[in-house]
Structure 1
Amino acid sequence: MSQSNATPTADLAQFTEALLHEAKKAGADGADAIAVEGTSASIDVLKGALEHAESSEGVEIGLRVLIGQKQACVSASDTRSSTIAEMAQRAVAMAKEAPIDPHIGLATPEQLAKEWDIEALDMNDPSTPPSPEMLQELAQRAEAAALNVQGVSQVQATSAGYGNRRIHLATSNGFTGGYARTGYSLSTVAISGSGADMERDYYGDGRTYFADLESPEHIGQIAGQRAVDRIGARQPKTGFFPVLFEERISGTLIGHLLGAINGSAIVRGGSFLRDKLGEQVLPKGLSLLEDPHRARVSGSRPFDGEGLRTRKRAIIDDGILTGWTLDLANGRALGMESTASASRGTSSPPSPSAGNVTLTQGKSTQAELLAEMGTGLLVTSLIGSSINANTGDYSRGASGYWVENGELKFPVNECTIAGNLTEMLLDIQPANDARTHLSRVVPSILLSGMTIAGG
C-alpha cells in the first residue's frame, strides 16, 4: 500500500462504519460520522512538590444525519452497538424536526479527498510518551530554573503535559480516513517583588515531538528573567504613539483578521472586512499564506472535517484579500467553493476555520523596529478585550515597556491601547523574528500610531 491512504485509525473506522450503517437503516438520506480517541496527561508543580495531576483517555463518537435539507448531530462516549443504533434513531428523529437549510449537504464524490501522505505531515511522535514522573521532573526543573533567577520571589505555576489524539472521519458517499497527532507542552509563570509591587511574566513551549521541546532550564530562565525585568512597572503617558506588538502576542492581530474573513461571519454580515474582497487589507508586499501540510506543526491535517483534501492557499496576496475561509455550507451560501477549511467536533456540524498561517516576515530585527519607532510602547501582554466585529474598533488592556529614543526605558502596566483594525492592518510593519515551528507564524509587528491611555 502507498503512503497516501495509510491510516493509524483503522480501529476507529469500525465505529464510523457502524454509525453510517445505522443512520441509513434509520432512514437518513446522507450522513457523516467521526470517532475521536484522546489520551492526555498534565502535571502541575508548586514549591517543588506535585500540586495537581490529571489524566484522561476515552473514545467519543459523533453522527450527523441529513434528511433532505435538514440536519441533526448527536454524540456519545459509549461505543456499544446498542448506543450507536439509538444515536442514529435519535438523530433522524431530530433532523425531521429541524429547520430547512438550503446550503447544507455532503461533498460530492468528486470533491472528496482520494489520497494523502500522512507520513509527510509527521504529526505523530512514535516515541514512548513521557510518564507522569517524567512530566513532574520536567516541571520541577523549570520551576527551579525560574527561582534561580535573581529577583524572582516565587513561581506561580508550572505545568507539563502530553496529549495524543486520533481522529477518523467517514461519509455515506464514500470517504473514509483518519490521522493521529501528538503534542507536548511545558510552561511556567514567575513572579518578582511582593505585595502591591508584584509583577509576573511567563514562558512556555509546545511541540509535536517530545525531542523538539525546549529544555526546562531554558523555559524557567526566560520566565524568571521576564518577571524580573518588569520590576517597577508603571503607567505610560496618554497620547498617540507608535506601538510594537511583540512576537508572542502579535498573532492576535492576525487572529482578528482571520475571524473577519471567516465564511460564517461573512454570511451573517458581521465582519469589518465584509466589503473588502479583492481589495487591499495589508500593506503591499505582505502576504498571508495558509499551508495545512507543514511537517510537525499542530495545525496540519491531510483533509478537512468534510473529507475535502486540504491545500495551500494565499489568503492575502501582496496585500490583497483573495477570498474567505469556507466550508461547504457557507461556500454555497456565498456562491463559492469550499476552501477545505471545515472543522468538526463530535457534537456539532462542520464550521470554517483557518489552520497554519504564515505572515510575510520583514527584514528588520525587533531592536531595529524599536529604534525606528523612537518613542512609544512595546506590548508584551494583552488583557481583556473590547472589539467590535462589525466596525473593527479595537481596545485592549496592555502591558509591556515604554520606549524612548529606540531604547526600553521602564516596564509598563495598567494601560489601554485603542485603534481600528481596518487601519491597523494596513499599517503593519513586520520584523523578522517569527518562530517558524508555530501554527501561526507571525513576527513582531510595528504600528505607526495607536491611542494609548495611561496615567
Structure 2
Amino acid sequence: MTASLADLTDRMLAAARRAGAEAADAVAVDGTALSIDVREGRLEQAERSEGIDIGLRVLIGRRQAVVSSSDARDATIDTMAARAVAMAREAPEDPHAGLADPGQLARDTDSSRLEMYDPAPEPDPAALEEDARRAEAAARAVEGVTQVQGASAGYGRRRIHLAASNGFSGGYERSDRGLHCVAVSGSGTGMERDHDGDARIFQSELRSPEDIGRTAGERAAARQNPRRPRTGKYPVLFDERVSSSLIGHLLAAANGGAIARGSSWLLGREGTQVLPKGLSVIEEPHRPRAPGSRLFDGEGLPTATRALVDDGDLSGWILDLATARKLGLQSTGNAARGTSSPPSPAITNIRLTEGTATRDDLIAQMGTGLLVTSMIGSTINPNTGDYSRGASGFWVENGEIIHPVNECTIAGNLRDMLMTLLPANDARRHLSRVVPSLLVDGMTLAGD
C-alpha cells in the first residue's frame, strides 16, 4: 500500500547517512483533499488539493535538526540532508534527544484491522455538491430559520510512512468524509446561529444531509430571544457537543511536555484522585474506525490500550521518548510527528466512563442552572487550573429548559470541577474522544 512512500523515506535516510548524520528518521505524507461549499442553492466554492510533504530529522550525537519540503526529487533530498546535518552540528546539545532502541520498536505495523481507510471510490464533486445542497435545503425548511450561512461537504485521503535508521519502517492510510451546515434564525441584531455536522472514515456511516441540515436549523431556531442568566453559583451541564473539552484540559495537564516544564496543575498528583470514583479515562489507540487510531507512534514504538485515569486515580503521564527521559520514565508510545517538527507527546483516542442517566435525566436533576451547548474564548491557567470561558446555551429552572442564554461567563477551578463530574449516557462512539454530557456542580456564572 505504501511501497512508494517507503522507498521515499529510505532515500531520505540514505541521503542523511551520506551527508554525515549519525542517526535519522524520515516521514513522508501524501494525500488528496476535496471540499465543496454551497450557499443559497448555488455552488460557492470548490477546492481540490493534491500534494506530498516530506520531513527529515538528523542527529549528530545529542544534537538534532529537522528540515521539510514538498519536493521529493533526489536533488532536493540531498540538499535537505546536507542542510539538516549542518544545522545539527550548530544546534545546542539536548541530552534527551535520540531514536528508540531497536528492542523498543513495534513489530506489528499492519494497520488494516484498524479500518482507517474506506476503499470506496473517491466521491465525485457533483455528489458532494448535491449533499451540501440537500443539507442546506433541509435547514431552510425549518420554521424560524431565516438564512443558511453555508453548507459544505468534503473528502480527504492521506498516506503516511515513517522510517528510521534504527530499523523501523511502517505506514498506513487514512480517509475521511464530512458534511457540515450552519443555519441562522432571526434578523438584524436578533440573529442567532448554530450548526451541525458529521465526519466519518466510511462514507456509508455518514448521517444523511437531511438529518444534518434539519438539526442545524432546529438548533438555530431554538436560540431565538436569548437572555443573560443571573449571576451566581449554579450547576452547569456541559452538552455532549462541548463536554470533551473538559477532559481535554485534563489530558493537556497530563501531557509529558507540560510536566517536564513544570507548568501543569497536575504536578505531583500522579496516583492521586482527579475524578470521582467509578470514572476512568481509557486510551484506545486500536479502536477500529476511529480518527486517532494507530498501531505505532511517531517514533515507531507500539501503542497500547491503557487507563490514564483508573477508577478516579491519575495513573501517569502522556510521554514520548524525550519527555520520558527528562522525567526518568519510559515512553508511553504517545509520540506524534509532523514533517517540520520533532516528536512530541500526543493522545490517540480516549473514552470516559459513561453513566446510566440520560441528558434529560441530568437536566431534571440539576434543578436550576445552565445547559451549555457552545463556548467561546478560553482563559485556563495551566499552573493553577483556574478556568473561565464564555458560554451560551439554555437556562434550566425546576429541572426544565426555560429559555436560551448567551453572553455569560462560566468560571471555576479544574481541580474542583473534575471532582464533581456526573456523566450521562449519550456519548457518540465513533468520535476520537468518547465523552458524554457532563454535569458539574457549583460553577460561578457571570451574567446580569
TM-score of the two chains, using structure 1 as the length reference: 0.98
After superposition, give the CA deviation of every residue in 1:231-277 in whole Å (9 maximum; x if it has no partner).
11110111000000000100000111110000000000111111211
Q: Which residue of 1 aligns with 2:442?
A: 449
Quick check: 2:109–2:170 contact (8 Å CA) kept in 1?
Answer: no
In structure 2, how many angstroms separate the alpha carbons of the residues matched to 1:385 and 1:174? 43
Q: Which residue of 2 aligns with 1:401?
A: 394
After superposition, give the CA deviation of every residue in 1:55-102 in whole Å (9 maximum; x if it has no partner).
111111100000000000000111110111111000000000101100
Q: 1:116 Cα deviation (Å)?
A: 3.5
Match 1:299 to one of 283, 292, 298: 292
After superposition, give the CA deviation of every residue in 1:423-455 in whole Å (9 maximum; x if it has no partner).
111111100000001000000000111000011
Match 1:155 to one of 144, 148, 156: 148
Q: Which residue of 2 aligns with 1:100?
A: 93
Counterpart check, 1:25 vs 2:13 = no
SS in 1 for 2:211: helix
In structure 2, how many angstroms separate the alpha carbons of the residues matched to 1:248 and 1:372? 20
Give the root-mean-square deviation of aligned CA atoms.
Answer: 0.6
Quick check: 2:109–2:171 contact (8 Å CA) kept in 1?
Answer: no
Q: Report 1:43-122 matches (<5 A).
A: 43-122=36-115
Q: Which residue of 2 aligns with 1:359?
A: 352
Q: Which residue of 1 aligns with 2:186?
A: 193
SS in 2 for 1:265: helix
Q: 1:38 Cα deviation (Å)?
A: 1.5
SS in 2 for 1:254: helix
Match 2:132 to one of 128, 139, 143: 139
In structure 1, how many angstroms separate the alpha carbons of the residues matched to 2:2 and 2:409? 48
In structure 2, how many angstroms separate the alpha carbons of the residues matched to 1:226 and 1:188? 11
State the percentage of identical aligned residues. Answer: 63
Q: Which residue of 1 aligns with 2:417?
A: 424
Q: Which moved more, 1:112-121 or 1:164-173?
A: 112-121
SS in 1 for 2:154: strand
Counterpart check, 1:242 vs 2:244 = no
Quick check: 2:9–2:162 contact (8 Å CA) kept in 1?
Answer: yes
Quick check: 2:35–2:153 contact (8 Å CA) kept in 1?
Answer: yes
One-letter amino acid of the structure 2 residue matched with residue 271 of structure 1: S
Q: Which residue of 2 aligns with 1:231?
A: 224
After superposition, give the CA deviation of every residue in 1:178-230 in whole Å (9 maximum; x if it has no partner).
00000011011100000111111110000000111000000000000001111
Counterpart check, 1:177 vs 2:164 = no
Q: Which residue of 2 aligns with 1:123?
A: 116
SS in 2 for 1:248: coil
One-letter amino acid of the structure 2 residue matched with residue 135 of structure 1: L
Q: 1:131 Cα deviation (Å)?
A: 1.3
Counterpart check, 1:343 vs 2:340 = no
Counterpart check, 1:164 vs 2:157 = yes
Match 1:373 to one of 366, 374, 377: 366
SS in 2 for 1:220: helix
In structure 2, how many angstroms separate the alpha carbons of the residues matched to 1:21 and 1:77? 18
In structure 1, how many angstroms separate the alpha carbons of the residues matched to 2:420 and 2:159? 41
Counterpart check, 1:282 vs 2:275 = yes
In structure 1, how many angstroms separate the alpha carbons of the residues matched to 2:360 and 2:160? 43
Counterpart check, 1:254 vs 2:247 = yes
Q: Which residue of 2 aligns with 1:328?
A: 321
Q: Which residue of 2 aligns with 1:317?
A: 310
Quick check: 2:270–2:316 contact (8 Å CA) kept in 1?
Answer: yes
In structure 2, how many angstroms separate the alpha carbons of the residues matched to 1:358 and 1:286? 10
In structure 2, how many angstroms separate the alpha carbons of the residues matched to 1:29 and 1:196? 63
Match 2:33 to one of 34, 40, 49: 40
In structure 1, how many angstroms separate the alpha carbons of the residues matched to 2:266 and 2:352? 18
In structure 2, how many angstroms separate the alpha carbons of the residues matched to 1:257 and 1:448? 17
In structure 2, how many angstroms separate the alpha carbons of the residues matched to 1:431 and 1:158? 30
SS in 2 for 1:247: coil
SS in 1 for 2:218: helix
Structure 1: state its 5+ residue gaps.
1-7
One-letter amino acid of the structure 2 residue matched with residue 392 of structure 1: G
TM-score of the two chains, using structure 2 as the length reference: 0.99
One-letter amino acid of the structure 1 residue matched with residue 240 of structure 2: E
In structure 2, how many angstroms separate the alpha carbons of the residues matched to 1:389 and 1:259? 9
Q: 1:11 Cα deviation (Å)?
A: 1.0
Q: Report 1:431-446 matches (<5 A).
A: 431-446=424-439
In structure 1, how many angstroms separate the alpha carbons of the residues matched to 2:119 and 2:363? 43
One-letter amino acid of the structure 2 residue matched with residue 310 of structure 1: T
In structure 2, how many angstroms separate the alpha carbons of the residues matched to 1:53 and 1:234? 39
In structure 2, how many angstroms separate the alpha carbons of the residues matched to 1:181 and 1:147? 34
